[in-house]
Amino acid sequence: MGPIFSLSTVALILIFASTPHPQNKKSLRPQEDKIDLRGFLTDGGLTNLVEGGALYRHDNDAPQALPSRKALKNGDVINVGGNGRVEVLLNPGIYLRLFSNTEATFLDLSPDNLKLKLSQGAAILEILVVPLERKQSSYNDLRSQFNGSYQSVMVSTPAGDFVTTRGGIYRCDVGDDGHTVLRVVKGFAAVNASLVGPGMETVLGDRVPFVKQFKEDREDAFDRWSHERAVVLVATNKSLKNTDWHTRLRKNPLTDFEITSAESSERLKERLTVSAAGGFVGYVESGGVYRSGESEWQLLEEGAELRYGDRVKTGPDSRAEIRVYPTCYLTLANDTEITYGTRKDGAVSIKVLRGSAIIASSLTRKEGTVISFVAPEAEIEIPAEGFYRLNVKPHRESEIVVYAGAIRIAGREIKQDHRVIFQGEEYGIWPIRRMDMDPFELWTRKRTSLLNELPIRSEKHAVVPARTNAHRAERTGMWYLDQVTGAYTFVPGAREYSSPYGGRYSVGFAGRFHR
């Protein structure tokens, strides 16, 4: 258990007022009784339960039997056998369950960027919900809630991607032929150009997703097992009221909970690199490459500095973020290729050869810096701050979406909340469809919102933590190992949480946190 506990250390601090001495009218200073606790985790990324046969492998290592409480690393692959079932802990409050004959790869386990790949089989995500959470009243509300949430999980499949946006129950099935169905029992998931709500399902991979209602009585053994696990975990949480640490919390109203943690070196992608340099690659997932001129393609890595004329490509499971200017970011979706160039006036020009790219800029008109997005049909000028997306797909018309700000095409200004579709030398202007939301847009919004929280440093490059373990524990909670069941359950922090299957996680810390 040593390697698991090294992820974070927590201590319970009991603060109580001492009885003053009769000859001294002044009260003595409060005393602190610090008790080291074992069993708490601020991170996830480990198996909680393994039933039947299951294997795991890392990189090119030989497959090994998968045990319970196995700490996972980025790139690890789990293969569940014909009679197996596996439960994995992700961020505190998120359970991933894998059924028999399933293969899942953990592409990124960092808390702010959870990303999985489901190659075949069936998976269920149970994401705990905040009962008092305001219901989303518009798509913009959903976007803003997503930015600050730890409830998002990106899932890549052979047919396409989806991302969870809030608490709920999400099931995905991938057939041997790659046919993929997403079913949202509760919650909201974003797929390509559509939002799938509670009680709805869709087939991934369709150009225009068809979302339909599914029959609630269509449960199978996997659904029932997931439901049973949810009931057991809620009951386990309730049993923690008899633990020593919770007894002390109940007895002493002045009790505080202090978290000190050592950042896990395996999850440094949670950290963000800020830079004053242009063309700086702040983030990239495996599979990205670039080249200068006619040189050979080479691996694109974080910290690389692009030069004008460089070409960049992302792979099937790869996304990238490039700092164009200190307050202007370019993100690239998977399977995207660009040329990082320059305009005649010396400013940056991004030519999208294929795929999707987004520019999120805080540059103002007063600064006078105009950036160009170049599609095969036209050059689009970006004169000021805003959020812009360019889609270039084979055998389809290119499209520029202006979520915020304004663009110019051949001198004509087009303001926000519009999309422009190019048809040869002509183009049409249409309003943005509010349902047009996909995993790449949401990921970019979250990525840039984190970057915008950071100050611009005077040094060329600086690496700072995006959000600390203590911040997450205070906001959401932690995992706790129950010695009776031998499995972890969730202990909420400042807010109440419930299982979307039913039942409240009632044993928590009610906001008694220090950092």
CATH classification of the domain holding 187: 2.60.120.1440
pLDDT of residue 210: 86
Identify whether residues 217 and 294 lie together within a single domain.
Answer: no
Provide the 3-class DSSP secondary structure of residue 23. Answer: coil
Q: Is residue 445 part of a domain?
A: yes
Identify whether residues 218 and 277 lie together within a single domain.
Answer: no
Give the global pTM: 0.86
Q: Is residue 29 part of a domain?
A: no
Residues of the chain with pLDDT under 70: 1-37, 132-148, 253-277, 434-435, 452-470, 510-515
- Find all residues with CB under 8 Å of 354, minimum gap 6, and list them: 335, 336, 337, 392, 393, 394
Torsion from C-alpha of 127, 128, 130, 134, nearest 10 degrees: 20
* Residue that the structure tokens 């702010």 belong to: 112
- Angstrom distance (rounded) from CA 391 to CA 398: 6
Q: Is residue 286 part of a domain?
A: yes
Identify whether residues 185 and 81 lie together within a single domain.
Answer: yes
State the residue range of the domain holding 288. Answer: 266-465
Q: Is residue 30 part of a domain?
A: no
- Asked if residues 425 and 402 have their Cβ atoms less than 8 Å apart, the reply is no
Q: Is residue 500 part of a domain?
A: no
- Find all residues with CB under 8 Å of 392, minimum gap 6, and list them: 352, 353, 354, 355, 356, 375, 376, 398
pLDDT of residue 16: 38
Identify whether residues 193 and 107 lie together within a single domain.
Answer: yes
Identify whether residues 222 and 161 lie together within a single domain.
Answer: yes
Q: Is residue 164 part of a domain?
A: yes
Q: Is residue 234 part of a domain?
A: no
Identify whether residues 209 and 292 lie together within a single domain.
Answer: no
pLDDT of residue 461: 60
Identify whether residues 120 and 210 lie together within a single domain.
Answer: yes
Q: Among 509, 478, 485, which Cα is nearest to 496's?
A: 509
Q: Is residue 216 part of a domain?
A: yes
Identify whether residues 224 and 276 lie together within a single domain.
Answer: no
Count of structural domains, the chain = 2
Identify whether residues 216 and 325 lie together within a single domain.
Answer: no
Identify whether residues 302 and 359 lie together within a single domain.
Answer: yes
Identify whether residues 356 and 208 lie together within a single domain.
Answer: no
Identify whether residues 346 and 436 lie together within a single domain.
Answer: yes
